[in-house]
Amino acid sequence: MGSPLRLVTHGAAERAARRAWRAVVSDIERSEAALSRFRPESDLSRLNVAAPDGWGSPHRRLLAMLSAGRRAQRMTAGRFDPRVIRALEALGEEAGVPLPRIPKPAADDPWLERAGRCRVRLRHPVDSGGIGKGLALRWARRAAREALGAAPGLLIEAGGDIVTAGPGPDDGQWTVAIEDPLRPNASPAAVLRTGQAAVATSSVTVRRWIAPDGSAAHHLIDPRTGSPSEGGLLAVTVWHADPAWAEVWSKALFLAGAAEIGPEARRRGMAAWWVEADGSLHLTPAARSLTIWTRAEAGAA
C-alpha cells in the first residue's frame, strides 16, 4: 500500500514476535491482493477496469471495503468519496492501471450495485485509499493477536497510521507522537498515550506533486470541487477504536476546514488534533484527555 510497515511487541518472546511479524506481512499481502489500485491483478483493479458494466465476485475483503466506503460517504455527507480516483488522475497522479473513460459522476450518483451477497459492479472506478489501509490494519492487528496470544502487547504502524492492542511498555499503555507537518524531522506537535486503539493522520506533507497545469497538488481531494482541499489545514490526526474509521474521519475533518473542524469534532465527541496553515496546533477536549505533551502554542477547540 505504498507504506513502510513496522511491528512492535511488548512482553513477547522473540520466537512469538517473529511469528507475529510473518502473520502481519502475510495478512497485509492478502489485503493488497484484494484492495490495491496499483496491481493490475487485484480484485479492485479488475472491477475498476470493468466499470461501468462488468460484474464480479471479489474477495470478501474488497466487499467489506466497498460497503464501508459507501457507509462512510453517507456518514460524512459526501466528504469521503472513493470516486476521487478520477480527480487524482486529472491532477497527474497515476492510478496504477488504465481506467475506462467514464463521465464525471454527480455527487449523488450510485457507484456500487449488488446482486446477492457477493456479486457486485462499479458504476465508477474507486480508490481504496485510506479506508483500505485502515481495514488492512484492522485485519493485520487481528492476525498478529492470534499469532501472539492474549498476553503480549503489539503496535503496528503503516506509513504513520497506527493500531495497538494489549498492554504497552508505558504503564500498560502505548505512547504515540503526532508529527509536526511544518517540522517533520524535529520534535512532534503532540504526544498521546493510549490503550488499544487506532491513530490516523491526513496531512499535506506527503503525496505532493506538481499538476500538469503547473499548480501544486496533494492527495486530499475535496469531492465537492475535484481539487485539493484549501481549507486552511496542514494535518489532522484522529484517535478512534477502529483504524478504518480513524482514516475516514481524519480525512472528513480535514475537508471540513479550519473554520468547521473544531465544532464538528467536538459535537461528535472525537479526539482530534490539527495544525492550521499558520502552524498553530489545536485539540478537542477528548484529545486533550489523551495528550501527555504538546508544543507550547497548542490551543483548545
**219-236 pLDDT tens trace:** 899 998 888 999 999 999
155, 174 in Cβ contact below 8 A? yes
43 vs 32: CA distance, rounded Å? 9
State the pLDDT at residue 121. 96
pTM above 0.85, yes or no: yes
The β-bridge partners of 210 are 216
Query: Tens of pLDDT along 73-106?
Result: 999 999 999 999 888 888 888 767 778 777 777 7
Q: What angle do CA 203, 140, 176 make, to 5 degrees?
A: 45
22 vs 25: CA distance, rounded Å? 5
Query: Tens of pLDDT along 107-144?
Result: 778 899 999 889 999 999 999 989 999 999 999 999 99
Phi, psi of 254 (to 5 degrees): -60, -45
**Domain assignments of the chain as residue spans, ordered by start:** 43-127, 170-300
The three three-digit cell numbers of residue 193, written as one number: 498515550
Q: Which fold has domain 170-300?
A: T-fold (3.10.520)
DSSP element (H, E) containing 27 = helix 14-35
Q: Is the peptide bond before 263 cis (omega within 30 degrees of 0)?
A: no
Pick the CATH number of 43-127 from 1.20.1280, 1.10.3430, 1.20.1740, 1.10.3980: 1.10.3980
